Structure formats: structure tokens, C-alpha cells
């Protein structure tokens, strides 16, 4: 199974990804998570992308494609893999199609999770992530048992540097301009499945899992 998770920032791609991985055992490949790990570890890549990500702009296609294809070339999870946050523009989608063709692979389904702008802003502003294990919470929708502390590992919860309202609005604009044309791109090839991300996490997932069975 090869899945692509598409949707604006805050729609719930990461939240759905976790549930999909638990049930379908695919490998979750999130370009955003890989970039953030590199930033945390202060690698060369991390230093190059840190300011771009903090501003909510897109990392260059060259760097991103190289990172993805390097990751995919090592990928051998029996159940397959799921790309989250990639591709993010037509150029990246074409590069991915070329890579898949060369490697005799095909996308099973493109999962589009969308939500209203006010919902996106509220979710992004309220998101908290564990500094240590990356578990994701929301101050209202999915609060931890103890405020500011991760339920899973007991470490501190923090806000992503790009999770303030101003940067969230910029990220949504980038999505509308550069990423949303992918909806048409994948719809034309008959691989797109749309889901209403305004609903509760479990409700959205129930629809997603049914589409995958």
C-alpha cells in the first residue's frame, strides 16, 4: 500500500497518520517530521531549513526531493509506506511519479483531509508537541492528563515555532497557492479520496479506514 496524505496545515494529517499506522502497519514518512528532527540535531540539513520552516515557507524542491528519494530507497516495510506533507507542489508530484514509475510502484490512494480556515487556525494555535517523543496534543481538543506534560513519556510539551497564528495564516496561503493544485492533479488520475477534517479525529478516521479496506 502506498498512501499520500494531503491537506492544509492543521487539518489533521499527522493525527490520521498515527491511526493509519497503528492499524495498517505502513511506514509513516513525514517530511515535516524529518526536517524538525534535523533541526533538533543541528545537522547541515537542519541548519539550512530552520529559518525557512519557522517562516512557514516551503523548503526547496531540490532539497526535499533528494531527502524523500533517499528515504524511499531504503524503505522496505512489508505493508508499504505513507507520505505525509509530500508532495507539496506540482513539481514535487511529478518528481514522485517519475520515481515511482522507475521503481515499478503505484500510489494506492491519496487521502485529502480538509477543514475550514478558522478550524485550522484554532487547531494549530492550540497544538502542543512532546519535546522528546513527538506525541501531539491540543489544549482543548486533546489535552494531556497533566497540563504541559506528555502522557506517553512524561517530558515537557512545547509549541512548534511555526504554530503561532500569524505564521499559520502564511502557511495556509502557501498551501492554497502551491499545494492545493495537487487536488486536481490526483483527482484526474482517479486516486483521490476526500475526507471532511472538520469532524472529530475518530469520525474522520472511520471514513478513512473504510476507504482503505
Choices 97-105, 121-129, 147-155, 183-191; region in contact with ligand AP5 by CB under 6 A: 121-129
**Could you say which residues in the range 139-178 bind Zn ion, by CB under 5 A?**
150, 152-153, 155
Q: Quick check: is 123 catalytic?
A: no
- Give contact residues for Mg ion (rule: CB under 5 A): 13-14
Q: Quick check: is 88 catalytic?
A: yes
For Cα atoms 179, 114, 51, give the angle at the middle one, nearest 5 degrees: 45
The kind and range of the H/E element at 113 are strand 109-114
Q: Which residue in the list 37, 48, 50, 160 is annotated as catalytic?
A: 160
Q: Are 72 and 81 in contact (CB under 8 A)?
A: yes
Which residues are bridge partners to 30 per DSSP? 84
- The answer to the question of residue 142 lying near ligand AP5 (CB under 6 A) is yes
Q: Quick check: is 160 catalytic?
A: yes
The kind and range of the H/E element at 137 are strand 136-138
Q: Which three cell numbers stand for residue 43?
A: 545537522
Q: Quick check: is 128 catalytic?
A: no
Shortest Å, Cβ 187 to ligand AP5: 19
- Upper half-sphere CA count for residue 105 (Cβ side, 13 Å): 19
CB proximity list for 133: less than 8 A, separation 6 or greater: 150, 152, 153, 155
Q: Which residue in the list 36, 123, 128, 171 is annotated as catalytic?
A: 171
Among 135, 139, 183, 212, binds Zn ion (CB under 5 A): 135
Shortest Å, Cβ 54 to Zn ion: 22
- The answer to the question of residue 35 lying near ligand AP5 (CB under 6 A) is yes
Taking Cα atoms as reference points, which of 211, 204, 158 lies closest to residue 19? 204
Which residues are bridge partners to 17 per DSSP? none
* Residues annotated as part of the active site: 13, 88, 127, 160, 171
- Applying CB under 6 A, which residues contact ligand AP5? 7, 9-15, 31-32, 35, 52-53, 56-59, 64, 85-86, 88, 92, 123-124, 126-127, 136, 138, 141-142, 162, 171, 197, 199-201, 204
Amino acid at each position: 500500500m502506498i498512501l499520500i496524505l494531503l491537506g492544509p496545515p492543521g487539518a489533521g494529517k499527522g493525527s490520521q497518520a498515527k491511526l493509519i499506522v497503528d492499524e495498517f502497519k505502513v511506514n509513516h514518512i513525514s517530511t515535516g517530521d524529518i526536517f524538525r528532527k534535523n533541526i533538533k540535531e543541528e545537522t547541515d540539513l537542519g541548519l539550512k531549513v530552520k529559518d525557512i520552516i519557522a517562516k512557514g515557507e516551503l523548503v526547496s524542491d531540490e532539497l526535499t526531493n533528494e531527502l524523500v528519494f533517499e528515504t524511499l530507497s531504503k524503505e522496505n516495510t512489508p505493508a508499504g509506506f505513507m507520505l505525509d506533507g509530500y508532495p507539496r507542489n506540482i513539481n514535487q508530484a511529478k518528481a514522485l511519479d517519475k520515481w515511482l514509475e522507475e521503481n515499478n510502484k503505484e500510489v494506492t490512494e491519496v487521502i485529502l483531509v480538509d477543514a475550514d480556515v478558522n478550524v485550522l487556525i484554532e487547531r494549530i494555535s492550540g497544538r502542543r508537541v512532546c519535546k522528546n517523543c513527538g506525541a501531539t496534543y491540543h489544549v482543548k481538543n486533546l489535552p494531556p492528563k497533566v497540563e504541559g506534560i506528555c502522557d506517553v513519556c512524561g517530558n515537557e510539551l512545547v509549541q512548534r515555532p511555526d504554530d503561532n497564528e500569524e505564521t499559520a495564516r502564511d502557511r495556509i496561503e502557501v498551501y492554497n497557492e502551491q499545494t492545493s493544485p495537487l487536488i486536481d492533479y490526483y483527482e484526474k488520475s482517479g486516486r483521490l479520496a476526500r475526507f471532511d477534517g472538520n469532524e472529530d479525529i475518530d469520525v474522520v478516521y472511520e471514513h478513512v479506514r473504510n476507504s482503505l479496506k
